[in-house]
A and B are shown apart, each in its own frame.
Chain A
């Protein structure tokens, strides 16, 4: 990173930070000890959701602190998490039926199709589209469109209909994964093999080998796949 400093505003105060900093590295550069609003630092956990405005732009924008490079005159606040209702359910007692949204997240049906959620999503997901898919009871569509959701909560913080999009999608994905995806028949066979003790003798044999014998076995083992 270059050491050219640019002005930014954090919680309304003006600071100068190196150009090329992300919101998180800018905070650390300035001496903030991060105890909240920070997580994996690689864009996978949604802990560092931030809101910002750019100079001369009336729009409120959102991004992940660890992935958003600061710009001159940017105004920044962090949103460590968004309080949100989460349905409590026994997954094994649910049915793959859109009735579950009526039951657990009835506010879903207040969606105004305003697309505010999609615009704020730092993962650039089609949030409104998966909300609409949930309204239609299309679990597969919700699962596909919401799969990369890191549950930062920015969508629900901005939603005028008070929907918690990320929890709705979480429920839909679990239903889809558990009830609607095709099952592997071979997995059941493998589990039976293991349960029946088919591999016990093999383990006993491997575990009784001397270090030398084990090494020979390992380095002579057949490699059976193609990197294509």
Chain B
């Protein structure tokens, strides 16, 4: 293991330019490299970003966004029929509650906690285990304007520029102005932020940010926050019932068209479970595992866009679902970690992106879509490093961090990254990391307003499944912030709404059948069903011998 011999030719070139690049970093890289102008950004995106390539988007033929161009793979999944059998009966009702939270990541845990704090009964259901979510995997940090030279307004300006000015202003105002409170709230639950000796927060810069604003917990930021939230949710067994390994399949409505629960599906036994709830909070996360344009992903195994599908069938409008975030630095070698996230904090602490010749070719702190496009362009120019299986990447020069901040910094600030590479024989204190953009985040989602309402009555949404706050490109550290801010708001609002809500019998899933009629009317015939629930990685040869009647996940057309 480790890098193949031929790569050391290029690594030597990186080593040769390293002392000079370290000098540049010490003087301030802005003196040598300017961030791109508006026009330059536009050009590099148009020429290189996967969203701008032919066939990246196509019109959706059914549902609330009918006629709009969305990401093609998203359209393909939305235009599939439901997994519910046609003769499905919504009885017996297995569970009854005030608030049903679908999803056990950060947003779901915040929503459950705050709904419970506000005096209502909560059921939280999740596809895998509680905390098995993208939230757990965030590495670099969370943005909050906690420094004197910064302010919520500068945070707002950075985020709206990074989002191509498409962010919903009222959502962004809430997120940026509540950020410092979230820092405090999490600390009071026991989250261990990286701190300076005087008790103030260690902060780093992030792509597209004009100030140091990134708080971190080593490079396990998401894991630290998620495990604390999970522990706190489990501290409320009287108010919160946790249903693990039980994903939702479809939403349920009442006679008036309000959302009134969900049908859950046990993937092991094939049994359906009916939950009746006065309010549903959708916190199902994003879509990395649908592998848009064939990209590998940093995302959790469960990130299959399930909530978006359910909400869309129920009539929820989507926003910005034509934009996809590719993280600039995904590992591209060794193959066992292909696509894995290399935290932006590596660049924030001085790790520079350099090409095969050892040249620093880009300002390292552009917003993610711009930075990723620059890397793709560099590889197209033939200045990438070839992997043994014929792909190309650029170097992320991690050893610089040890030069700039002193030896021992990598093990202290990046234990996860150090461990990850060490497992495969690479010491990132002395060797750079080979990277290429990887599918990372669902910028858009179900459109919400300030209190997380979707346009469907009694359906709230929070976290990655929701859309609007990030516009068409999220900045680093704003997703951890997003799920905390809006997860909390959704919980508070859900409790309030549950008190005012009376469910009008008859419970039904008529909207699911209406949606299927619409598919038929449009003459849409697709293979497979949605939501996907789980991604498919089984080897094709093994699937050919597969008996589909035993398998609800049997791929279509085998």
Which residues of A are in contact with B by a Cβ distance under 8 Å? 1, 20, 22, 25, 28-36, 38-45, 47, 67, 69, 81, 86, 88-92, 123-124, 143, 147-148, 150-151, 170, 173-178, 181-187, 190-191, 194, 199, 202-203, 206-207, 211, 214-215, 217-219, 221-228
Listed by A's residue number, 16 A-B pairs whose Cβ atoms lie within 8 Å are A30-B539, A39-B132, A40-B137, A40-B301, A47-B129, A90-B235, A147-B220, A178-B189, A186-B146, A187-B146, A191-B184, A194-B152, A206-B156, A218-B165, A219-B38, A224-B149
Q: Across the interface, which residues of B come within 8 angstroms of A226, CB to CB? A: 28-30
Decide: A203 and B156 in contact? CB cutoff 8 A: yes
Nearest residue in B to A150 (C-beta to C-beta)? B223
Task: Indicate with 1 or 0, residue by residue over B187-222, a CB within 8 angstroms of chain A CB atoms.
Answer: 111111101011111000100001110000110101
- With both beta carbons as reference points, the residue of chain B lying nearest to A124 in the complex is identified as B419
Write out the residue numbers on chain B whose beta carbons fall within 8 Å of the beta carbon of A203: 152-153, 156, 173, 177
Distance from B86 Cβ to chain A, minimum over Cβ atoms (Å): 24
**Chain B residues whose C-beta falls within 8 Å of the C-beta of A34 in the assembled complex:** 301, 534
- Known: A35-B267, A184-B146. Is A28-B537 also a contact (CB below 8 A)? yes
> Is B234 a contact of A86 with CB atoms below 8 Å?
yes
Of the listed stretches B371-379, B390-398, B456-464, B545-553, chain A binds B545-553
* Contact between A227 and B205, CB atoms less than 8 A apart: yes
Interface residues of B (CB under 8 A from A): 25-26, 28-30, 35, 37-38, 128-129, 131-132, 134, 136-137, 145-149, 151-154, 156-158, 160-161, 165, 169-170, 173, 177, 180-181, 183-184, 187-193, 195, 197-201, 205, 210-212, 217-218, 220, 222-224, 227-228, 231-232, 234-235, 237, 245, 267-268, 298, 300-302, 335-337, 340-341, 347-348, 350, 364-365, 389, 404, 415-416, 419-420, 423-424, 534, 537-539, 542-543, 545-546, 551, 553
Contact assessment for B200 and A218 in the assembled complex, using a CB-CB cutoff below 8 Å? no
Q: How far is the CA of A172 from the CA of B136 in the complex (A)?
A: 20
CB pair B137 A225 closer than 8 Å: no
| Contact A1 to B160, CB < 8 A, known contacts A30-B542, A40-B137, A45-B137 | no
Kindly report which residue of chain B lies nearest to residue A216, judged by CB atoms: B38
**Whole-angstrom distance from the CB of B231 to the nearest CB of chain A?**
5
* Residues B222 and A44 in contact, CB atoms below 8 Å apart: yes
CB pair A35 B534 closer than 8 Å: yes
A215 touching B195 in the complex, CB below 8 Å, given contacts A148-B220, A178-B190:
no
A33 touching B187 in the complex, CB below 8 Å, given contacts A190-B146, A199-B153: no
Secondary structure at chain A's binding surface: helix, strand, loop or mixed?
loop
Q: Is A221 in contact with B210, judged by CB distance below 8 angstroms?
A: yes
CA distance in complex: A5, B415 (Å): 33
Query: Residues of A contacting B201 with CB < 8 Å?
Result: 184, 187
A166 CB to nearest chain B CB (Å):
9
Residue ID in chain A nearest B148 by CB atoms: A186
Residues of chain A within 8 A (CB-CB) of B149 are 224
- Establish whether residues B234 and A143, one from each chain, have CB atoms under 8 Å apart when the complex forms: no
A1 and B335 contacting across the interface, CB-CB below 8 Å:
yes
B180 touching A173, Cβ below 8 Å: no
CB-based closest 7 A-B pairs: A174-B190, A182-B199, A31-B542, A218-B161, A177-B190, A177-B192, A28-B537
Residues of the B chain whose Cβ atoms lie less than 8 Å from the Cβ of A175? 190
CB <8 Å contact, B364 and A227:
yes
Contact A91 B235 (CB under 8 A): yes
- Cα distance A42–B183 in the bound complex, in angstroms: 26
- Chain A residue, CB-CB nearest to B352: A227
B132–A187 contact, CB under 8 A?
no
Most interface-central of A123, A124, A182, A203 (chain B CB within 10 A): A203
**Closest A residue by C-beta to B192:** A177
